[in-house]
Amino acid sequence: MSKRLQDKVAFVTGAGSGIGAATALRFAEEGALVVLCGRRAQPLEAVLEQVVAAGGRAEVAVADVSDEQAYVAALQATAQRHGRLDILVNNAMAYTWGGIDSMTTADWHANFTTTVDGTFWGTRTAMQLMQGKGGSIVNIASICGLFGTAWMAGYSAAKAAVINFSRAAASEGAAHNIRCNVIIPGVVDTPATAGMLGDARARANTEKVIPMRRVGQPHELANAILFLASDEASYVTGASLAVDGGRGSDLYTVLE
């Protein structure tokens, strides 16, 4: 039986840890050659070692997604080396924390450069490279982009923008067999959430408002991303898939 991503070329941003690393490992298991993109070489090299140890194929591309020239060049170099780009996962993000009344304009903008601009630059470049061949783009949003989260107004706004931008990209890409979908994670156990899950009490308070009563694990997000990236989702585009343990359900009410 062939693997789901056999001989596909996939590019994953934010691949040095968390959801990005789990996705890269999962893609490699399914036969893809995975380009691991991030700002720092050391975490990427560690993921590369894991991929190779498991019998997979991967490469490292050190590039800051908030730097248009560097990010676009990394994508173009990938397609040039391998003759194609089949899958792009825009996973890299950045955020600031603080109330709206004290937020500086610089802090506000800092939420958008990687999350929104980077997603735009990556999607635009991928659509150009996938012309005539088709491909799959999976953009990673957040439950904050649906609800809005206090003291994270910039991040919430940026992730909401990713969701609606991806719908537009799906509409434009459909005629060229270029699919664009969104994964909407809830709270996932990653380095980015270590602060909010730092002690047993904080973790318990977080889990209390999740219907499944636990936070997600990176591999659970990776499995959902794999589905949307693969040909199993060949008739799925413009979709936003929540992977949040039921947190986004309007029917659920916390009773405690």
Q: Which residues does the annotation mark as catalytic?
A: 155
Q: What's the one-letter identity of residue 5? A: L
Q: Is 196 helix (H, G, I), strand (E, B) or coil?
A: coil
Taking alpha carbons only, the member of 32, 31, 33, 12 closest to residue 23 is: 12
Q: Cβ distance 169 to 137 under 8 Å?
A: yes
CA atoms within 13 A on the CB side of 122: 38
For residue 239, the 8-state DSSP code is -
Calpha distance 252→224 (Å, rounded): 22
CA atoms within 13 A on the CB side of 248: 17
* CA angle centred on 95, ends 190 and 166, rounded to 5°: 90
Calpha distance 8→135 (Å, rounded): 10
Q: Are strands 57-62 and 240-243 parallel, antiparallel or unpaired?
A: unpaired
Calpha distance 146→156 (Å, rounded): 8
Task: Give Cα 166 distance to the centre of its chain.
Answer: 12
Which residue intervals of the chain are DSSP H helices?
18-29, 41-53, 68-82, 105-112, 118-130, 144-147, 153-173, 200-208, 218-229
